[in-house]
Amino acid sequence: MTVSSFKLDITDSAIEDLRRRLASTRLPAPIPGDPWQHGTSVPYLAELIRYWREKFDWRAEEDRLNVFPQSIVKLADVDLHCLHVPGKGPSPRPLLLCHGWPGSVFEFLEIIPRLTDPARFGGDPSRSFTVVAPSMPGYGLSFQAGQRGFGVEEIAECYVQLMEVLGYDRFVVQGGDWGAFVGTRMALQFPQNVMGLHLNLMPLRREKRAAEDSFEEKAYDDELAAWLKEEMGYYWIQGTRPQTLSFGLNDSPAGLAAWIAEKFRTWSDCDGEIENAISRDRLLANISFYWFTGTIGSSCYPYYARMHRPWPTPTGQTIQVPMAYTEFPKEMVRPPRSLAEKTFTNIRRWTVMPKGGHFAALEQPALLAQDIVEFDRQIGSRP
């Protein structure tokens, strides 16, 4: 197991190839009706493609990433890319930031400084963190052709190995999307390593229950039923036929952008306009990262594993490490605390935020960072 420093440098030829492909995009005819009713809006995507080809500055986004120290850590089963940013305060606590799909480490570029150097933002320097933010196995720079697929269980084991190689036996975990599932699995399987778990998505089972015990639980069941009916198409195809899907998305940047942008619109607190929540450059940096690394197909593997395995928190088992949950109003599903307490038995903090959605670190980095800091105060003193 070795650790090598790294900086991202996409070749000029790869950037020019992307622009050529964008210039030759063949858009579909719009289906009659509201532009977003049947999926990604054709007029929106046409404008996004034009901006991507003519105005988007990949080098500027690459520089934003390369400001942070990065490493390639060779583990037993994967060469794992990660950001490893030392905290600037006294005795910084190790914090593992876990992204999901269709995100990447580009989600964390605005929240990391708030965590590693809180004094810069008017915060308490004694509450700084040393942040480790890996690209999930199969995502971004944590992928090589022929690499085996990683599900939630393997990613959890991989992340514990990563932290131990970097010198951290005890650490806090924060995650949303797949990161919430991975963090929860880590807390279940490795409670000796996870001193605290902070989530901005609650990874509870998503089947309809036989009984509803409260108004909040009934409202959640209705919300969940609507989500399962209208929003699970991507989940089923990525969980059953990811190879078939990857031919189109790996070959067409327009197709890739349509697949990902629709999720950013649906899952963010944007009132129907992605740029109300996430800037066009931030959106395209994330999409471009998938494109240049050729990882849209491999990024689907956690879905395939999830669809063909038992739930990663086995029936009857509970998470007992201290945990916190930050509920953003436009998260895809928002279980009530009464249901969460059946799985998480040591909830220290439950915060309902005034604004934000699924991509919390991108949409509301200040709010999310502050909640992580407040949770840190509740899980024990630092050395």
CA distance 64 to 7: 11
Helix (H, G, I), strand (E, B) or coil at 147: coil
Alpha-carbon span 380 to 373, nearest angstrom: 12
- Count of CA atoms in the C-beta half-sphere (13 A) of 273: 3
CA atoms within 13 A on the CB side of 326: 31
Q: Annotated catalytic sites, by residue?
A: 177, 303, 358
Residues 6+ apart with CB under 8 A from 258: 39, 40, 45
Whether 126 and 145 have beta carbons less than 8 Å apart is answered as no
Consecutive H or E run containing 8? none
Instruction: Kindly write down the DSSP assignment for every residue of 88-126, as one continuous string.
Output: SSSSPEEEEEE--TT--GGGGTTTHHHHH-GGGGT--GG
Q: Three-class SS of residue 82?
A: strand
For residue 6, the SS3 value is strand
* Closest of 300, 316, 99, 303 to residue 188, by C-alpha: 316
HSE toward the beta carbon, residue 121, CA cutoff 13 A: 18
